[in-house]
Amino acid sequence: MGFPGTWMTESESMVYRVVPKCACSTIGQIMFYSDHGRFYDGDIHDAESGLHKWAQDRSKEPIADNIRNRRSLAFTCVRNPYTRILSSFFDKICGIQRNGRRYRGNLVPLLIQKYGIEVGDPETGFEFDQIRSFRRFLLFARDTIRYRRPMDPDIHWSAMSGHVSTFICNGGRYDRIFWTEAFNEGMQIVLDAVETPHPVTLAEIPRFNESEGHGPKRAHPVEAYFDDLSMHLVYEMYKTDFDLFRYDFDDPSNKMPVGEIDLDEVHAKLGE
């Protein structure tokens, strides 16, 4: 299977396992900048040079060789499951994508038909009942994760632990896992531990939120979207994420972790 979703700087200073909706655009641009002294002009997900990516044939051998010999620091970044699934809904379901169309072609019409979801329209300012539609989306996300119906789960709402685990199961080991909610502190620890061709000053790095501005703004606080049933569905999908990455399941309004990540526990439980 190899190392899907893995990026590496061309200088091999660091290896990163992408977890969608967890600051991956910003991290990719930092990696690109650390090698080239400039940012990639465009969405880093579209870059076909300047950064090794497992999806590119030329990159597979150097990435696999580096990871198996543990030559570079390997890391990933995670996010509160409540805010991550909300972000996936507003970006991928309600938003207009970079190509000017809806995400995955017929996905949104399917959700409208089968789950009664509304997504709004850019022509009318994306006016719709966000809470009702999001809770219906949660039922769909649960069906994809639990029953793989009406489709396999999408990478943007499949569990973070699933993304993180492929790296471990195929022979990799993380040196660092940090939280999106404490991004500067976590990314700084990574940068302090590696040597890069170009120095990176985190305070001067912009946030590359490629999904921002393409869909409706969240109209309510996070906790307003999650009633008892919604919380039950979220726990059913993301129990391992809450447990391993130390997020607070009982309080959707608390986006911050409540304990330290135990790397040995992560490797033991996700490497089984």
Rounded to an integer, the average pLDDT of 156-170 is 97
pLDDT at residue 211 in the model: 60
Lowest mean pLDDT among 113-127, 133-147, 256-270: 113-127
The pLDDT score that the predictor gives to residue 209 is 75
pTM: 0.95
pLDDT, mean over the chain: 94
Q: What is the mean pLDDT of residues 60-88?
A: 97
**Where do the structural domains in the chain lie, given as residue ranges?**
6-80+156-204, 81-154+213-238
**Which residue is associated with the tokens 């409706």?**
216
* Residue 212: band (very low, low, confident or very high) from pLDDT cuts 50, 70, 90: low
- 171-192 mean pLDDT: 97
Q: Quick check: 81 pLDDT over 80?
A: yes
Q: What is the mean pLDDT of residues 92-108?
A: 87
